[in-house]
Structure 1
Amino acid sequence: MTANEFDVDAALAKLALPQKIKLLAGLGWWHTHSVPEAGVPSMRMSDGPNGVRGTQFFNGVPSSCFPASTGLGSSFDIDLAREVGGALADECRAKSCHILLGPTVNTQRSPLGGRSFESFSEDPHLNGTIAAAYINGLQAKGVAATIKHYVANDQEFERFRALREIYLKPFQIAIRDSNPWALMTSYNRVNGLHVSENPWLLQDILRKEWGYEGMLMSDWIGVYSTSESIKAGLDLEMPGPTVMRGNAIQRALAGEKLLPGDIDARVRKILELVKRAHASGIPFDGPEQGVDTPELRSLLRRAAADAVVLLKNDKGILPLKDSTKTITVIGPNAKQAFTSGGGSARLLETYQVSPLEGITSAANAIGAEVKYAVGAHTHNFLPLLDPYISYDGKKGALVEFWNDPPSAEWLEKSTEGKDAVWSTPTLSSSCFLMDGIDDTKYTTIFTPDEDGDYEFDVSIAGKGTLFVDGKPVIDLMNAPLGGAFFGLGTEDMRGVVRGLKAGQSVAIEMRMSNASFMSAGGAPFSTRGGIRLGAVRLVDADEAIAQAVSLAKESDVAIVVIGLTHELESEGFDRPDMSLPGLTNKLASEVLKANSNTIIVNQSGSPVEMPWVDNAHTLLQAFYGGNELGNGLADVLFGKVNPSGKLALTFPKRLEDNPTYPSYGPHGESPGKILYGEGIFVGYRNYDKKRIEPLFPFGYGLSYTTFSYSDLSITPISSEGKFGVSFSISNTGKVDGREVAQIYVSDPESALPRPIRELKGFAKVALKAGESKRVTVNLDREALGYFNERLGSWIAEKGVFEVAVAASSRDVKLTKKVELEKTITWVGL
């Protein structure tokens, strides 16, 4: 069958009822079922949103990692988002993948959210607009986007107006502007009913009101009913094998809780996506390959740089001058490249560039010397062994597998056993064995780069023992369960090995049994094992800071790279607070005292508290920058790229200032249920309403040049609600740059309370030094309206509106009033 020959109606007619039922649930983790007799192939899908992992958690084909969504959102760059979507489509095609599970557009409410880094913004307009560009880039090359997680992910809900204006809005914008071919429902309930079986959300709003025609799939293990989910419109249960469908559908049909027409309606949507997959030319059950080209590396680097936001440059230290001769790089996030947040967004990168590597390379180009000191560790988890391990002369380790339960003697003592049934090399000391693997032995050679005593830490899914040079170091035979591997693994256990020498190798061996795979902590799946192994040279905490301070004093410039990691900010758990880990804050404070030319780089997917910020005159927010994190950061530090990012989310001074406090996470006042008490006043809307001064406001970001705004004009609002906002913007500095001009709208005389101002448009403008441009942003009724629950519709009330052109939500440059002469009401897109 060729690409243009797949006929949905003909295929549906060929399918027998048991075959139709089979199609309504997944085949394993990453595929839909095939029905060869009816010409229906199996479609492949892969996790996103910042990369394409492929079908293997363990030892998959390496992939490009793009900046996490908060970084991409902070670029405010629609063209860049479209380019990233196109590059992800190329990776999908190389991996024979028809459906990418992204983008994520859940509105960011709290800095504590474990998956905050996966969504673009706290603002629905920015969130939906960047998502639409990403989707358009992806689907232009024949790969289906799966917008997720619809809607109000992981919490309960109370207020319909907030649901419409804040949480549904980014989905509405993306569906209107890009028509994603698939949509994933969330795990949670909305007003007491799970989204996957909620006809109001799936039928009334999504299908009827918005006219959405794509396929609806569940989140993994996110279906909680049979008849209800099918009648509500959920097409595909993921993953397989089915739990809520299959024979349960047969029983429901026999009892006439379901009718054959209900099944046909769901199958049709799956077949419609199969038709698109055929048309894409992506092979079915094809090979998985990687993509690594100079053009792709260039895009990754540009995206990493554009995801950096310059927050402070009070002394004008940046960009670094060619006269800089000595640089000390300090911090736990400097030597290791934290390319993404944790959970399903993690993948095996084709390559990675750490901040230390990127800075060193750029420094060498101007003849500057670079020294390094860690200064402080995160303390929660020790750094992976990846840069220091080898096996059989090659980078990495050997993992061996058995099908039979091992003896206690083999697990607890360094004794030989029978030959493994299978073995494979791996590049990492973090192995999540989600792919049907049994008892294992992990073997590698660890070569430290410094003399000293080393502390090792291990968490596993299973039970076992860590040996170093044949001696047992860490016993995990009866270790308590902890948070590793989505709650399926043990607590992080530690042991010390004395007297290791730089350059002298030691044998590392982890023997473990996964015979009884574990399922705990509410995780939605099980695993056949996992290993997470780290090590670090033991140093006295004060001594480590003192060493960093000493090097900083001797250098022209100190660059302190701190923040969070994929093991501190991840799917599967929320952060307990906004604090930076361990002694990070003390390290930053001490280095700031030691060197007046200290640059602080914070790397996190969401806001953190910065108690030292008043003493930091030079500060950047780097987010998780993907493969080219280090080079992108260095390009900004050394002036190869003039930073143009603006924060896509408000950074509060303290957690208590966030609108969700104290109802979110461990501070919640109603266990098991969280009320969205802030209503429509999410993010900057709440800070404005309560007149709370944030640490850094939404939309804020500096440049190495300066910009001025002038000559605002607004066309009259048409009867349909359309109008244009025009203004002039000039680069008044000496460096070429890009400015994100933001358009906010206010309705001071609304019948119902509304935010002081709301983002309704933006433009990213490139200007050469001294250049001016005239910019026009076209708006429509969406910029004027709000949702009226009593009317059950959107309404833009007649009257006077104020339009502001701003450099951030708190930095208004120009304002002008415009009048809507007649009230407009509407339903739908």
Structure 2
Amino acid sequence: MCQTILLSYDLRIPDTRYFPKNLGNYSGWGEILSLPFTLTVINSTANFDVDKLFQELTTEEKVSLIAAANFYHSNGVERLDIPSFRFSDGPNGVRGTLMFFGVPAACFPNGTSLASTFNKDLLKECGELMSVEAEHKGVQVIMGPTTNIQRGPLGGRGFESYSEDPYLAGMATASIVSGIQKSGKVASTLKHYVCNDFDHERFSSDSRVTERALREIYLEPFRLAVKYSQPKVIMTSYNKVNGVHCSENPHLLQEVLRDEWKWDGMTMSDFFGTYSSVPAIKNGLDIECPGPTKFRRWEIIKHLLQSKEGNLSEEDIDVHVRRVLNLIKYLVEGRGTTKFDFTQDEKNNTPETSRKLRKAAGEGIVLMKNDTGLLPLSKKDSIVVIGPNAAAFNAYSGGGSATMDPYYLVTPLQGIKNKFGDVDYAVGCYTYKALSGLFEGMTNDLDSSKPGVRATFYLKGKEDRLADDKPYDVKVIDKSVIFLADYEHPAVDLRTKLFYIDFEGFYVPEFTGDYKFGCQVFGTALIYIDGKLLIDDQTKQTRGTFCFSSGTVEVTAVTHLEAGRKYKVTVEYGSGITSKVGTDFGAGGLQVGISRIIDPAEEIKHAAALAKSHDKVVLCIGLSNEWESEGYDRDDMKLPRETNQLVEAVLEANPNTVIVNQSGMPVEMPWLKDAHSVVQAWYGGNESGNAIADVLFGDVVPSGKLAITWPIKNEDNPAFLNFHTEKGRVLYGEDVFVGYRYYQKLQRDVAFPFGHGLSYTEFKYENLKVATDKDTLNASVKVSNVGQVAGKEVVQLYISPVAPSIIRPVAELKAFEKVELKAGKSAVVSLSTDLKHACSYFDEFAHKWCLEAGKYKVLVGSSSADIRLTGEFTVDTTVFWTGL
């Protein structure tokens, strides 16, 4: 049924970045037009009949459906009421659109933090909250979670993945996906399929990995997620696996995903991760992202179909079209309409959202060391807070596609003040990788009520502008790190993305002295102080790691500034296409910063003196979203700049120092033997500071367990010799011995083992029972809280083959449960798992999983190195199997 009505309407041209199609070449932004139009009201709750729609599609319309329209939208077919859907990052929240000038969002704890909760129910609740966030961002498909394996501690995106252990990673992923898809209105996207475990030369790197390691380690979390949560979408990774790009790899996309696992969802490429027309279509990639398409333009596909080049047929395309339509059917039926709402808002910024984020962040915090009982702190103590991370505004999340504009941010210093009251504070040292913070400290002549600079957008550079050339947009920008990868505007050519921005504002220094200015850019940039050129990042450029490794190295300059004087600062920016070193990765990016030059030794001396004058010290150190980010890997495991010198000086001045480290992956701690209390706080999202304070003062009893092994030094880790691309390939030489599997096999010491985490109470294990039948392994153990306060314990079950016929890990995690107990209380904890999943290895000769006959030990404990009880069972008959 439908009804047609003739209306006249005053239409304000919207921000078309939020829509899949350009609404026209309008010079005005927010221009009012009076337009007559007809409105056809369709019964949009009608059944979305895929077969019927498929028959009505033209070949050109089919081709349009298998490529994205732009950065965050699929193509729709308006005449058939096939809607476009919106997809959005990502790993630790739902950004919506865009990275630049986007709508603030809820920032969740990073991946390793979430996995360190070892709490499947909590992770499902996080997924449900992500789904609610998606609704408030007009998003139907969330591009997350990230379920890659952390081969080593230096991976740029390690922070957004869950674990080095495939079982923990898989179950964490399944829990998040189940939560996201519970409402039936939002689809979840597993990424990055597969072996995208580092970022060095990620577009071309060839991951050479044995089939056994591929199955047991790298594909396993994806398999578990498919088995237990059936994600609607899987994103392919940039890299090759054994010589073939993942986005066109028939073994991965067809043989494993479709034939063995019987998964019937939709695949999409990572952004700019499609490398061909014919192989990608024939081998299993459903949608090329982002748009506008490079390889699936109608004129290209039409020629291929007509000429039979590459043996491409319409039937090859039809397979992908049906999968896209099936995803849309899921979304339409879940929402009861084909009219998807793309409205974005901040209305989910509520006390309930904050409570959930705070709970998730607190439960992931790991108490790694507390040998003198320094923690929890007392509010009666005299406390000083020291360290660069205490007041940092870039340690709530890692960088890259995880970046978002949070609703708000509570730093550790603010969280402690919220709990304790005012405290003394000293920064101790700088830890920036590249300078930032310039625009945040400036004022402008466009809106004096807001900090930031006036940003004026042009289609021509300054040298080419005529007197009557007007800007197409003007904004106030209050952030110095600007990613424009997904920036679009009706005035800007969607293919070239050529535009220019003049940033202008005023800076008034608080102190007289020498100041260092810095700039890194994907595009070009010139920085002027009072009309005098200070930095030229345009004439000559050197490739660096900025902006997903598409930008320049940082260019710096030092100038003397007088306190209280008003300086005019101008930055002339040209978009990504003007770069001399960049690649085609969106519209560009800019980072500008300033820092007063200090004497590091004097700052550390001052911090040590302050530490000595107080009872207790909270020393906040670690990394940030510029050290751990998509686009590049860390060079080493060391803490930045003078951090270690600061820690050593403060510990010497006051042994009653609690060290709070924020990082997504391990860092070296050369002072560890001298530190009595160490807390791993990860990147906690919006509620980072409050969650840290909750644990420090005992309002939350720590219950997090390390989702990754913490090596003593980088050279100890299993991927040390193979964690980079050499001449196009990277050898996964550690094979199945990733993480704790390696350290246990070699009996190598670590700083902290996998699964480790202390509490403010103690737990006793007793009465382990183990039983098996044909399909299932069941175990139970009595756990008692023998301490003085209520707390949560993670009971971990590992399987160890007694006499395997091939080399195997000493033990592997195969089940875990988290139990909450009041002081003096006990509970029987049951752990159950599929027998074949718990005990099998992948046999490369049979090309099947092998459940080998023999004896197996059951190891139950509080970590991989703290086994409290052991049991045993026997598998009588060897069985080979495939699939889920």
Sort the TM-score into its range (normalised by shorter chain).
Answer: over 0.9
2:428 is the counterpart of 1:375: yes
What is the aligned partner in structure 1 of residue 253 from structure 2? 202
Structure 1 residue 509, shift from structure 2 partner: 2.7
Query: Which consecutive residues of structure 2, in runs of 5 or more, have no partner in the other structure?
Result: 1-42, 197-201, 493-498
What is the aligned partner in structure 2 of residue 23 from structure 1? 65
Structure 1 residue 816, shift from structure 2 partner: 0.7
Greater alpha carbon shift after TM alignment, 817-826 vs 557-566: 817-826
User: 214, 222, 231: which one pairs with 1:180?
Assistant: 231
What is the aligned partner in structure 2 of residue 749 from structure 1? 803
Q: How does 1:393-792 map to 2 (within 5 A)?
A: 393-407=449-463, 420-434=471-485, 435-436=487-488, 438-446=499-507, 452-481=513-542, 482-501=544-563, 506-514=567-575, 516-518=577-579, 520=581, 523=583, 525-527=585-587, 529-665=588-724, 670-715=726-771, 717-720=772-775, 722-781=776-835, 782-792=837-847
CA distance in structure 1 between the partners assigned to 2:228 and 2:698 by the alignment: 35
2:318 is the counterpart of 1:258: no
Structure 1 residue 537, shift from structure 2 partner: 2.3
Structure 1 residue 602, shift from structure 2 partner: 1.2
Alpha-carbon contact 2:439-2:477 (below 8 Å) kept: no
What is the aligned partner in structure 2 of residue 413 from structure 1? none
Structure 1 residue 535, shift from structure 2 partner: 1.9
Could you give the per-residue CA deviations for residues 651-671 of structure 1, whole angstroms, max 9, x where no partner exists?
A: 111111111121112xx6x43
Could you give the per-residue CA deviations for residues 339-388 of structure 1, whole angstroms, max 9, x where no partner exists?
A: 11111111111111111111122111xxxx41111111125223424653
Alpha-carbon contact 1:218-1:237 (below 8 Å) kept: yes
User: 861, 870, 875: which one pairs with 1:820?
Assistant: 875
What is the aligned partner in structure 2 of residue 91 from structure 1? 133
Structure 1 residue 4, shift from structure 2 partner: 4.5
Structure 1 residue 515, shift from structure 2 partner: 8.3
CA distance in structure 2 between the partners assigned to 1:315 and 1:449 by the alignment: 42
What secondary structure does 2:601 align onto? helix
| Structure 1 pair 227–646 and aligned structure 2 pair: CA distance change class (3 A) | same
2:169 is the counterpart of 1:117: no
2:95 is the counterpart of 1:53: yes
For 2:807, give the aligned amino acid: P
What secondary structure does 2:112 align onto? helix
| Structure 1 pair 6–104 and aligned structure 2 pair: CA distance change class (3 A) | same
| Structure 1 pair 250–660 and aligned structure 2 pair: CA distance change class (3 A) | same
User: 786, 793, 797: which one pairs with 2:848?
Assistant: 793
Structure 1 residue 475, shift from structure 2 partner: 3.1
CA distance in structure 2 between the partners assigned to 1:360 and 1:450 by the alignment: 26
Alpha-carbon contact 1:451-1:499 (below 8 Å) kept: yes
For 2:96, give the aligned amino acid: G
Alpha-carbon contact 1:4-1:278 (below 8 Å) kept: no
Alpha-carbon contact 1:719-1:822 (below 8 Å) kept: no
Could you give the per-residue CA deviations for residues 36-55 of structure 1, whole angstroms, max 9, x where no partner exists?
A: 12221111100101011112
2:73 is the counterpart of 1:37: no
For 2:304, give the aligned amino acid: A
Q: How does 1:245-284 map to 2 (within 5 A)?
A: 245-246=296-297, 247-256=299-308, 257-281=311-335, 283-284=339-340
Q: How does 1:208-247 map to 2 (within 5 A)?
A: 208-246=259-297, 247=299
CA distance in structure 1 between the partners assigned to 2:143 and 2:572 by the alignment: 35
Structure 1 residue 329, shift from structure 2 partner: 2.5
User: 184, 188, 206: which one pairs with 1:145?
Assistant: 188
Structure 1 residue 684, shift from structure 2 partner: 0.3
Alpha-carbon contact 2:576-2:586 (below 8 Å) kept: no
Structure 1 residue 326, shift from structure 2 partner: 3.3
Alpha-carbon contact 2:127-2:178 (below 8 Å) kept: yes
What secondary structure does 1:555 align onto? coil
Alpha-carbon contact 1:333-1:563 (below 8 Å) kept: no
What secondary structure does 1:361 align onto? helix
What secondary structure does 1:628 align onto? helix
Matched residues, percent identical? Answer: 42
Could you give the per-residue CA deviations for residues 406-435 of structure 1, whole angstroms, max 9, x where no partner exists?
A: 12999xxxxx99753310123312222231
Structure 1 residue 520, shift from structure 2 partner: 3.8
Alpha-carbon contact 2:435-2:519 (below 8 Å) kept: no
What is the aligned partner in structure 1 of residue 26 from structure 2? none
Could you give the per-residue CA deviations for residues 220-250 of structure 1, whole angstroms, max 9, x where no partner exists?
A: 1212222222121211111112222223322
CA distance in structure 2 between the partners assigned to 1:22 and 1:307 by the alignment: 43
For 1:303, give the aligned amino acid: A
Could you give the per-residue CA deviations for residues 488-529 of structure 1, whole angstroms, max 9, x where no partner exists?
A: 333212233434437x765433223338433745x45142x4
What is the aligned partner in structure 1 of residue 174 from structure 2? 132
For 1:440, give the aligned amino acid: I
CA distance in structure 2 between the partners assigned to 1:70 and 1:214 by the alignment: 26
| Structure 1 pair 387–325 and aligned structure 2 pair: CA distance change class (3 A) | farther
User: 805, 814, 820: which one pairs with 2:860?
Assistant: 805
What secondary structure does 1:266 align onto? helix
| Structure 1 pair 323–483 and aligned structure 2 pair: CA distance change class (3 A) | same
CA distance in structure 2 between the partners assigned to 1:485 and 1:585 by the alignment: 28
CA distance in structure 1 between the partners assigned to 2:517 and 2:846 by the alignment: 62
CA distance in structure 2 between the partners assigned to 1:825 and 1:170 by the alignment: 20
Could you give the per-residue CA deviations for residues 664-722 of structure 1, whole angstroms, max 9, x where no partner exists?
A: 12xx6x4321111111111100000111011111000111111110110012x2122x1
CA distance in structure 1 between the partners assigned to 2:96 and 2:181 by the alignment: 18
Could you give the per-residue CA deviations for residues 544-580 of structure 1, whole angstroms, max 9, x where no partner exists?
A: 1111111111111121111111111111111111111
Q: TM-score under structure 1 normalisation? A: 0.94
Structure 1 residue 166, shift from structure 2 partner: 0.5
What secondary structure does 2:207 align onto? coil
| Structure 1 pair 671–258 and aligned structure 2 pair: CA distance change class (3 A) | closer
What is the aligned partner in structure 1 of residue 113 from structure 2? 71
What secondary structure does 1:662 align onto? helix
Alpha-carbon contact 1:337-1:352 (below 8 Å) kept: no
What secondary structure does 2:593 align onto? strand
| Structure 1 pair 445–316 and aligned structure 2 pair: CA distance change class (3 A) | farther
CA distance in structure 1 between the partners assigned to 2:307 and 2:269 by the alignment: 25
For 2:407, give the aligned amino acid: T
Alpha-carbon contact 2:576-2:589 (below 8 Å) kept: no
Q: TM-score under structure 2 normalisation? A: 0.89
CA distance in structure 2 between the partners assigned to 1:515 and 1:186 by the alignment: 23
What secondary structure does 1:627 align onto? helix
What is the aligned partner in structure 1 of residue 441 from structure 2? 388
What is the aligned partner in structure 1 of residue 28 from structure 2? none
For 2:679, give the aligned amino acid: L
Structure 1 residue 158, shift from structure 2 partner: 2.9
CA distance in structure 1 between the partners assigned to 2:606 and 2:570 by the alignment: 33
CA distance in structure 2 between the partners assigned to 1:727 and 1:329 by the alignment: 43
| Structure 1 pair 675–462 and aligned structure 2 pair: CA distance change class (3 A) | closer
Structure 1 residue 465, shift from structure 2 partner: 2.7
Structure 1 residue 783, shift from structure 2 partner: 0.7
Alpha-carbon contact 2:549-2:632 (below 8 Å) kept: no
What secondary structure does 2:862 align onto? strand
Structure 1 residue 449, shift from structure 2 partner: 5.7
2:381 is the counterpart of 1:324: yes
CA distance in structure 2 between the partners assigned to 1:542 and 1:560 by the alignment: 17
Could you give the per-residue CA deviations for residues 96-130 of structure 1, whole angstroms, max 9, x where no partner exists?
A: 11111111111110111111111100000000000
